[in-house]
Structure 1
């Protein structure tokens, strides 16, 4: 049963991917050296073979000219041919009738070729040809002499090339082995920073110690990798510190309402057990106590919701949309009126388009209006203005309250921060922090100032977006 053609390459690819980086570098180094040695051997063998052949051909031409000169003086039939000396040099005289003369004791040469016969007949001056048909190959040079020709030949000896090839093979194997060792050493040395980096990362994972930075060593890619991991550790440290602060602040803020809620409930339980619940507390006291319990539960619910929203950070599954910020402000104002009907909200809105997350922006605007509603007197409305200023959407929420002290202004957007004058008012101190987080996530800026009415002026500046086609500007009041 035959295997699919593509299975073997895929299997080889999977095997290669499972190898360690050291093994890959070692194999690559050994393979590169092997290929280099093979190519060098091929080139050197060709050059050596060409050089030897050229030397033999030049020697054959020189010997043939000497023999042709002797034949020209003595004649082809009478030119002396000394007995074969066994040196590998072979000679032959081709007479005009096509017969040949050879020295005594000389090994037989291959028959005169057709091309060599034409040289003897005067068709050309000379001819260099090789004959590999026999067990021993011959390189034969034919030169026109008198009415015939003389031939000088030599056995083609491949032993120098073969010996050279064997030597190159041995050297190549040694180079491959040496290359593998060098590649292994280079891989071990080059990957030493990676090993130390891995050990440091494992140590951080086991000890959970994010304060231990990895030593910056090496250069190039290794240094950039170490710096990136140190930056990641710094971000994790900041995140863990922020989580710890959030948990500590949340525990502190939850302590007061939970304590009050627990004491009131314990009082009701104790009176109920004694059977004096109806007599110990007047109707007015019971009503006030129940109202306090309801307010504390509502405060805890609000605090839990704001903590959940704040703990999410900038992570949200909500998609960014192109929206009219005026619609968001009107919806938030309507919700604020329904929650606290006593708040009078005056809107002065201009259609301004932004790119953002609708629910997050709605929550931020609602927090701004709720914050202003807590401070604004009953006979003074909360003024909400929206307009475009250049490439920015400017949202202002203005109340007629006591305003924000200069000492409190830098911290008004901090988590859980509440001014001394706001301690007795309901709230968690998270509303404006959520506003700042949402505004920052949208590339904007939130600031606080004193309004012309003496109260606080909270201003949000968001980058505008190009409105959809065929949308006419509108205003709302």
Structure 2
């Protein structure tokens, strides 16, 4: 398994703690390295300034006058000054004369170049025969009165800066280690504290999966991401609980609505079957009425099942692609079907052109439902007025109207007013109307007659335009042709 795969396999809190520790380790290492380099630079500069400020010329003057370059002497033959440094004289040929200190410095090419007058001074590092690393400053001098050019080398051990740097490195390493361990512990604590709401959310999800209890809620105080996630989860469970309740209510209402026609249908069929089994014929008129009742109940069942299938579709689902359709043509077709259902009624229509984006069959069914509702409640010889102006379709009947307290419920599934319970229907027609209008982006409303007279008025508002889009040629079937 690769390191990346092993890292992803760790728990989230462990990954967070590890990332925090790594981030702190990198930051501490960078700070420690920069600090060490800066201190080393400062110590080196300080040592260089110390070497350049050492007055070795006076100490070397006696040696120059005694000609130590011509007759070199051993260190123990000279009187060392209290300079806390090693000093020696070098000529252009590489000969050198020890002046003070504890060791003889090796002569380098740089020293000879200074002694020859090619350089005025130079700083460099050397290692003595005793294995001591030294920092050397070599400068040019002129002996008096001969005017001969020499070089004086002043050196101090690099241990003066190496020891403090070594101590600093160990201190930085110790502090970095403590910082990384502390950061890892703090990261683990922060991860556990920060992920506690996630643990609660995980527990709630596992509880719901195990018990299907959608009433569980988790605390959602605060405005951070975890609180937002908690609120989203609570909203999701509330929506699921509401959806389940609506589903259960739909099943209960559907069962209740199906029970009545099924019971009537079963009774009528049992009467017909008993007549056949016993050999007692039913009077022709009664038999005709029984068969008509069976046919009516079967038609009602088919209509109810079709309505249930329509409402069982999710709101986001669509049986076909949305197209630009001519709403006035669809309204005219629905009006023709309504005239067949209410031949004794008077229909007046004023339909202006209006084009909407929707499903032509679904829109026609919705308009048929709203017109059937007007036909059902219109008195014999009554009038139904239909108008389409500016995307607002109104259907006015002159029936008994709807009480104000019932208006908020007219678009609920299976809801039927007390005055309509004796009439045929399932209570789903207006629900289908509202659903279809919402799919087009419009609204549906049922209200009392605007002039205060008898009856009710349905108002359906559709977004659209009085002319079809120019990029889509309008077909003769009321639907904009596909490109």
TM over 0.5, shorter chain:
yes
| CA pair 348-448 structure 1, distance change in 2 beyond 3 A | same
Alignment of 1:370-389 (within 5 A): 370-377=372-379, 379-380=381-382, 382-388=384-390
Q: Which 10-residue stretch deviates more, 448-457 or 206-215?
A: 448-457
Partner of 1:401: 399
1:127 aligns with 2:129: no
Alignment partner of 1:260 out of 254, 259, 264: 264
**Paired residue secondary structure (1:463):** coil
SS at match of 1:267: helix
Query: Which one of 235, 256, 271 corresponds to residue 231 of structure 1?
Result: 235
Q: Deviation at 1:307? A: 1.9
TM-score by length of 2: 0.83
Of 244, 248, 258, which aligns to 1:244?
Answer: 248
* Residues in 2 aligned to 1:421 and 1:60: alpha-carbon distance in whole angstroms: 114
Residue 214 of structure 2 aligns with which residue? 210
Superposed counterparts of 1:58-457, under 5 Å: 58-63=49-54, 65=55, 67-72=56-61, 75=64, 77=66, 82=78, 89-95=85-91, 98-103=94-99, 106-113=102-109, 115-131=110-126, 136-146=132-142, 147-157=149-159, 158-217=162-221, 219-276=223-280, 279=281, 281-317=282-318, 318-336=320-338, 345-377=347-379, 379-380=381-382, 382-388=384-390, 393-441=391-439, 442-450=441-449, 454-457=454-457
- Aligned counterparts of 1:13 and 1:112: Cα–Cα separation in 2: 54
What are structure 1's unaligned runs of at least 5 residues? 1-7
Instruction: Please state how far the C-alpha of 1:246 moved relative to its aligned partner.
Output: 2.1
Q: CA deviation at 1:195?
A: 0.8
- For residues 17-69 of structure 1, what are the alpha-carbon distances to aligned partners after superposition, in whole Å with 9 as ceiling and x for unaligned? 44322121111111012101211221122112112212221222233x2x212
Is the partner of 1:102 in helix, strand or coil? strand
Distance 1:315 1:99, change over 3 A: closer
Equivalent in the alignment of 1:37 = 28
Deviations 1:262-308 (A, max 9, x none): 211222222222122xx2x1111111001101101111111111122
Q: CA deviation at 1:460?
A: 1.0
Change (3 A) 1:341 1:28: same
Post-superposition offset of 1:97: 6.1
Q: CA RMSD in A?
A: 3.3
Deviates more, 1:331-340 or 1:431-440: 331-340
Distance 1:231 1:96, change over 3 A: closer
Task: Measure, in 1, the Cα distance between the counterparts of 2:10 and 2:101.
Answer: 67
How many aligned residue pairs are there?
455
Work out whether residues 446 and 458 of structure 1, in 8 Å CA contact, stay in contact via their aligned partners in 2. yes
TM-score (norm. length: structure 1): 0.84
Report the 3-state secondary structure (helix = DSSP H, G, I; strand = E; otherwise coil) of the residue aligned with 1:467: coil
User: Which position in structure 1 is the counterpart of 2:146?
Assistant: none
Given that residues 214 and 226 in structure 1 are in contact (C-alpha distance below 8 angstroms), is that contact kept between their aligned partners in structure 2? yes
Give the whole-Å Cα distance in 1 for the aligned partners of 2:53 and 2:220: 73
Q: CA deviation at 1:328?
A: 2.4
CA offset digits 1:222-273 (Å, max 9, x no partner): 1111111111122222222222322222222222212111211222222222
Contact 1:445 1:462 in 2 (8 A): no
Match of 1:319, SS state, is: coil
Cα gap change, 1:367 to 1:155, in 2 (>3 Å): same
Q: In the TM superposition, what is the alpha-carbon distance from 1:394 to its structure 2 partner? A: 0.8
**1:427 aligns to what SS in structure 2?**
coil
